[in-house]
Structure 1
């Protein structure tokens, strides 16, 4: 559901500049709305004539002039995302093409609370949802999915009753968290495109069901390698770096601190 209609909000009629916006849905030339794949795309307008974000697989920057109820996006430059877009599947690439098609030229802005429509002259539109970004370091990242090659599954699909699986990256080059049964600690060298995880060791000695402990071991493997990561406003994807067809990774989410 995308409750986007009028251009009125008593406190801030057109609050486009400032927050990160998830590009939630896209519609091409009046067609039906297509929901974004997870972690697909986002944009930020700085209010000073610039925009930046991610189309879904590749990052971008552009000039963006906000005047009244329109924004004009021009001089757009596409940049390689983490892994050069190699971690993207066909669904993400297709969504990216649609976003690129709309996020260009003069766009009409309509708002409703935390939702915004950007609509071009042909009736194509992007539906944006306000999202306050969370920092990579210091946030508690809950792992929701694991992946291997082109297969992806929920963290509890193969281990019903598993505990919450999460990790926190520290400023001191370490990480800590829980892998579903036991708590872990290790090293994490965070770079602009990669995280080098190493020395992941349990700091508790609990015994859980075989399914839970098997899944815990699957998680542990992902924290014993260098991963290329992709960071959105409240999501993180990571996979073996350099990427190959037997790569393993995970999908995680975090909530902004209140």
Structure 2
């Protein structure tokens, strides 16, 4: 049975809504008046966290001190929100007057006094780190510059579930997500849905008995995984906006039902093309790049511990 996107496979939806649904399933809770799901250039999509500038519900408030905070997004003045390149920037506050983290390319430490709903960051010291800026491209260096600008001085703290906003007196803001995100490379990404144009469907739909479908991006420029019946291996060149999958070939020769084999071929095609990708704290979306009216894609969730 050849997989087609039409004929009652569920309500049609945009890739943006697909990302929002995935985050809901994954348990990322967020609701904010000034945040909306933001699409990635080239057809990818992501879901934005809560950033409503206030939090009146005490049970939703999180202590700033203690957790690892990923600096997920930021805005400088009225320039609009900017997404971090692959979760490189982060910060922790020890609650005893100190903070440490990474601006995006360089590590840092600073003094940080938390009082009520404010934190004052001062006396910052930049550290070289294991690689410093050697592995950073222009986009990462630009993001680091903005993090440096905002993460300084007195900042107002607002929280909502696993998200925290740090806002300065000029309205510039850091959007933090609790816990370190899953890395793109090395994580087992379980493929839960496939998509075609503006429609998606569960990986198991019309393919009863299909095995777990997953992919792991390896540090040597390859990928491996299972597409529902057989193990696969191929090449994966990762860029700032795209992953160039190629040479996806089976490494086993199992025979499964016709429905499963058809679904496996549909998965293989999605991992034998260039995709624009969107990386979240524990989810990954990929869609044909450049996006066109025949674009195909996948929705995946991270498995395991960070």
Output the TM-score relative to the length of structure 1: 0.59
Higher percent of residues as strand: 1
What is residue 151 of structure 1 aligned with on the other side?
Answer: 199
CA RMSD of aligned residues (A): 4.2
Distance 1:117 1:214, change over 3 A: same
1:39 Cα offset (Å): 4.7
* CA–CA distance in structure 1, aligned partners of residues 261 and 197 of structure 2: 22
The reply to whether residue 239 of structure 1 matches residue 246 of structure 2 is no
* CA–CA distance in structure 2, aligned partners of residues 53 and 201 of structure 1: 37
Distance 1:115 1:201, change over 3 A: closer
- Give the alignment of 1:184-223 within 5 angstroms: 184-223=232-271
Distance 1:53 1:108, change over 3 A: closer
CA contact (8 A) 1:140 1:166 kept: yes
Q: Secondary structure at the match of 2:261?
A: helix
* CA–CA distance in structure 1, aligned partners of residues 82 and 37 of structure 2: 19
Q: For residues 30-51 of structure 1, give each alpha carbon's deviation from its aligned partner in whole angstroms, at most 9, with x where no partner exists.
A: xxxx999x95124899x9xx95
Q: For residues 128-180 of structure 1, give each alpha carbon's deviation from its aligned partner in whole angstroms, at most 9, with x where no partner exists.
A: 97343111111111001100001101111121221000011111111110000
What is residue 68 of structure 1 aligned with on the other side?
Answer: 115
CA contact (8 A) 1:158 1:211 kept: yes
| Pairs aligned (count) | 187
Q: For residues 73-95 of structure 1, give each alpha carbon's deviation from its aligned partner in whole angstroms, at most 9, with x where no partner exists.
A: xxxxxxxx9xxxxxxxxxxxxxx
Output the TM-score relative to the length of structure 2: 0.51
Q: For residues 12-71 of structure 1, give each alpha carbon's deviation from its aligned partner in whole angstroms, at most 9, with x where no partner exists.
A: xxxxxxxxxx86221549xxxx999x95124899x9xx954289xx7347xxx9953436
Distance 1:27 1:239, change over 3 A: closer
* CA–CA distance in structure 2, aligned partners of residues 107 and 26 of structure 1: 19
